[in-house]
Amino acid sequence: MAKPDDLILQLLKIMASALKNLSQYDESTIPSAADRSFGIVVAEWNTAITHALFQGCWDTLVQHGAKEENLTVIQVPGSFELPAAAKLLLANRTMDAVICLGCVIQGETSHNEYINHAVAHGLTTLSIASNVPCIFGVLTPNDEQQALDRAGGRHGNKGVEAAVTALRMADLKHSLKQGGKTRIGF
Ligand code: RBF
């Protein structure tokens, strides 16, 4: 028979893995996308992964009411190009949020660190400067399996989560513009 300590450990492991999969969410709490427009920027590197992220993202937006004509999709060579493409998009179209999807797999050199930091910094700066939420949907795995686990595998699909974040942030932006409400996002 398993000892109590073992049982607690098993329970903690189950809870930890459940918590890692944020793709399971309460759909009723997510704001509608019906009147919103979104940009989706997708990096070509590791296409199998980024296209799985894209699929999850697209399906989630549509499932929550987004109209296809209000979704602009751009493909860029690599993740490093995501912030620049997001900025170009915002310079030419009105968007409620831009979702950036990529996958930078760790290799033998430290290229991944430079790219990841640059993208994270670029998207943060752009979000703040433009007042349009730019969502970081970039996987930063150590290997391909970790990427697969997060692109529709055992840790969910981070493209779905990026879409949910975009919906929530777009709603936050509109709620603040309209004024009135003092508790937003609860
Ligand atoms: N882009 C990615 O999106 N994922 C990668 O795993 C990735 N690995 C790269 C590895 C090296 C050594 C280099 C030089 C580039 C890599 N890129 C990757 C491409 C990068 O994001 C960008 O497209 C190019 O550096 C051109 O600006």
User: Which CATH number does the domain housing residue 130 bear?
Assistant: 3.40.50.960
Quick check: is 182 in a domain? no
Token pair for residue 169? 């942030």
User: Which residues face 97 on adjacent strands?
Assistant: 38
Q: What is the pLDDT of residues 157-168, one digit of tens each?
A: 999 999 999 999
Q: What is the pLDDT of residues 10-41, one digit of tens each?
A: 554 444 444 445 677 788 889 999 999 999 99
* Residue that wins the pLDDT comparison between 171 and 6: 171
Quick check: is 138 in a domain? yes
Rounded to the nearest 10 degrees, the angle between the axes of helix 82-92 and helix 111-130 is 20
Q: Note whether 139 and 79 are within 8 A (CB).
A: no
Query: Atom 13 of ligand 1 has which residue's CA nearest to it?
Result: 111
Q: What angle do CA 146, 152, 154 make, to 5 degrees?
A: 60
Query: Atom 8 of ligand 1 has which residue's CA nearest to it?
Result: 104
CA distances from 59 to 53, 173, 178 (A): 10, 22, 28
Give which of 119, 89, 98, 104 is closest to 49, Cα–Cα: 104
Helix spans in 131-157 (H): 144-149
Quick check: is 129 in a domain? yes
Quick check: is 19 in a domain? no
Quick check: is 4 in a domain? no
Q: What is the pLDDT of residues 66-88, one digit of tens each?
A: 999 999 999 999 999 999 999 99
Distance of alpha carbon 164 from alpha carbon 178, whole angstroms: 21
Overall number of domains in the chain: 1
pLDDT level of residue 2 (50, 70, 90 thresholds): low
Model pTM score: 0.89
Token pair for residue 163? 């879409």
Token pair for residue 116? 């990841």
Give which of 135, 146, 158 is closest to 50, Cα–Cα: 158
Token pair for residue 138? 């970039």
Give the pLDDT of residue 24.
Answer: 76
Query: Atom 6 of ligand 1 has which residue's CA nearest to it?
Result: 104
Query: Atom 5 of ligand 1 has which residue's CA nearest to it?
Result: 104
Distance of alpha carbon 122 from alpha carbon 103, whole angstroms: 16
Pocket residue to mutate for ligand 1, from 109, 115, 123, most atoms within 8 A of Cβ: 115
| Catalytic annotation, pick one of 64, 111, 117, 174 | 111
Quick check: is 25 in a domain? no
Residue 111: active-site member: yes
Quick check: is 133 in a domain? yes
Distance of alpha carbon 162 from alpha carbon 137, whole angstroms: 6
Distance of alpha carbon 47 from alpha carbon 10, whole angstroms: 36
Residues within a 6 A CB radius of ligand 1 = 43, 45-46, 77-81, 102-105, 111, 115
Quick check: is 173 in a domain? yes
Pocket residue to mutate for ligand 1, from 75, 111, 138, most atoms within 8 A of Cβ: 111
Pocket residue to mutate for ligand 1, from 54, 75, 104, most atoms within 8 A of Cβ: 104
The boundaries of the domain holding residue 136 are 32-177
